[in-house]
Amino acid sequence: MLRRAAIQSLSRLPSPRLGPPNGLRTLASMAEPSFHFSQCGNCPDVFSFFEKRTSTWLVMQYAVLDPVTKDAALIDTVLDYDPPSGRIATTTADGILAWIEKQGLNIKYILETHAHADHLTASQYYKKKFNAPIGIGKRISMVQETFAPVYGFEPSAFEGSFDLLFEDDEQFKLGALDCRVMHLPGHTPDHVSYVIGESVFTGDSIFQPDVGSARCDFPGGDAKELYSSMQRLMGLPDHYRLFVGHDYPDGRSQLSVSTVGEQRSLNKHSKVGVTEAEFVEFRKTRDSVLGAPQLLHPSLQTNIRGGRLPPRDSSGSLWFRIPLTPPVALSV
């Protein structure tokens, strides 16, 4: 029922046809990070890049590195997409590529916190450039199973989409830095965060304290689970840095980081003293009036396949499929 309701409420846009990228600005200049957070103690060097070309507000992309070895990971990358023309470009990614080359980084991982519903991932593009594995939480299979029939994907369409499917608490190394995966469902069932040293890349599992929390009304989303996930994050040491996936500033400049201590005392939706019942009631009320992300269907069709565009049709054309919910008078 939740899946049906979500799809019905998100099915109002006409289907765009993809074309060559020359509808977007394609001469990329080197990207400049929006913020640089230097290594401190057991923290990595972190560079955040705000994505401003898509219709979604302030998407954060991260380059995370061990400054000694220059081994690095890219987290939650973005592909440029212009819905009216259906054209896709790599301008943003090319700018970051130029910056990576200048910095002399060794890209070891391309990481996704979840299958995003508001922008297209550039993970496949970066993989072709660096031959680095794409990683995501193993429960991406649940999201794929949900949306395969919606978009007409056969099971084989998902083969090879991701190289690493992470378990909760799975560990890996980035240079000399210890890394750990935290499964943090609620916003989506596949959602994970990456703990790299004493920095956490939270995706949409938590937002800045004055923004609070993410919606939970996507198929497989659950407000109780998100409350638990936020509490798990707030159980980390106070000084840990939390890097968010989006920001929605109201009367302030954009931010990408807070600390666990700040979240515990200030998060407007889930700070100390807020009960699970209060949080669930708030999210239920709030989510009931939220509209669909503008890029929902193009994003999901791309992102549940690890950044691969939909297969071409028999004529060789590329299309995104948009499910429609017509009024009864127009139903056939």
Out of 96-110, 192-206, 221-235, 318-332, pick the least confident. Answer: 318-332
Whole-number Å distance between alpha carbons of 127 and 60: 19
Tell me: pLDDT of 12 over 70.
no
52 vs 13, higher pLDDT? 52
Query: At the top level of CATH, which class does the domain 2-292 belong to?
Result: alpha beta
Do the Cβ atoms of 153 and 226 come closer than 8 Å? no
Query: Average of pLDDT values for 6-20?
Result: 38
Comparing C-alpha atoms, which of 220, 186, 189, 236 is closest to residue 206? Answer: 186
Q: Tokens 């057991």 — which residue?
A: 42
Tell me: pLDDT of 36 over 70.
yes
Query: Average of pLDDT values for 307-314?
Result: 94
Whole-number Å distance between alpha carbons of 217 and 296: 13
Do the Cβ atoms of 200 and 191 come closer than 8 Å? no
Q: Any idea where the domains of the chain sit in the sequence?
A: 2-292
- What percent of the chain has pLDDT above 70? 89
What pLDDT, on the 0 to 100 scale, is given for residue 168? 98
Tell me: pLDDT of 37 over 70.
yes
Do the Cβ atoms of 30 and 91 come closer than 8 Å? no
Tell me: pLDDT of 304 over 70.
yes
The most confident of 16-25, 30-39, 174-183, by mean pLDDT: 174-183
